[in-house]
Amino acid sequence: MSEFKYYALAEAEKGQGAVVVIDVLRAFTTAAFAFDRGAERILPVSTVDEALALRREIPGALVMGEVDGFKPEGFDHSNSPGALRNADLASRTLIQRTSAGTQGLVRAVQAEALYAASFVVARATAQKLIEGQYDVISFVVTGISEGRDGDEDLACAEYVQALVQGEDLDPEPYLARVGTSTVGRGFADGSLGYLLQEDFKLSARANTFGFAMPVKRVEGCLVMTPEPVRL
């Protein structure tokens, strides 16, 4: 039986065992859609400068992400799943920098195994955790930062935990918390200009894709890939 632990973004370095870094709105929903559009791998980084420097080193690489919600100058794509729905990313390397999700991955330095997750890959992520038989599973709830409650990410973590524990639950009550979270309410009242309606709808769906998103360190870089799961 696994022990489950929960950490906010600022505590990500404490995560041990299998560390699942969750960002529903929007980093790891965007990453999943990028894989669905054919991306071969995603390299998560901490800063804009790192992202742009890495692109110069990798022929054909594209950079996606945000600072304070908006696409930085010089980036190829924003942090938007909706914007990637029709993109041709076949065999591409993407470099991703976001304010929460990729920061959690970079900071999870004690992880035995590392996963990026959101609702759209929740069941696949849970399946990989079951297969791994980890003594400890740590969730990094990246939305808990800068005065935000992160309840959209906490709901996803709790849903994944329930699936790992063998509970075949209706995801809808968990998905409803995307809309009632701090960011979700900001979307509803129009105060978050960077969060598009399509992004919100795509992020608030469960188990859209049949792959998990493990992250491994390769030659000093974090490398995220899609790993198909038999559900």
Amino acid 188: pLDDT: 67
Q: Is the pLDDT of residue 177 over 90?
A: yes
Rounded percentage of the chain residues whose pLDDT exceeds 70: 99
pLDDT digits 0-9 by tens, 82-116: 999 889 999 999 999 999 999 999 999 999 999 99
Please tell me the least confidently modeled range out of 61-70, 99-108, 154-163, 180-189.
Answer: 180-189
Q: Is the pLDDT of residue 194 over 80?
A: no
Structural domains in the chain?
A: 3-226 (3.90.1560.10)
Contacts of the segment 220-224: beta carbons below 8 A, 24+ positions apart: 221/43, 221/54, 222/43, 222/44, 222/45, 222/105, 222/106, 222/114, 223/41, 223/42, 223/43, 224/31, 224/41, 224/42, 224/43, 224/44, 224/96, 224/105, 224/116
pTM for this one?
Answer: 0.96
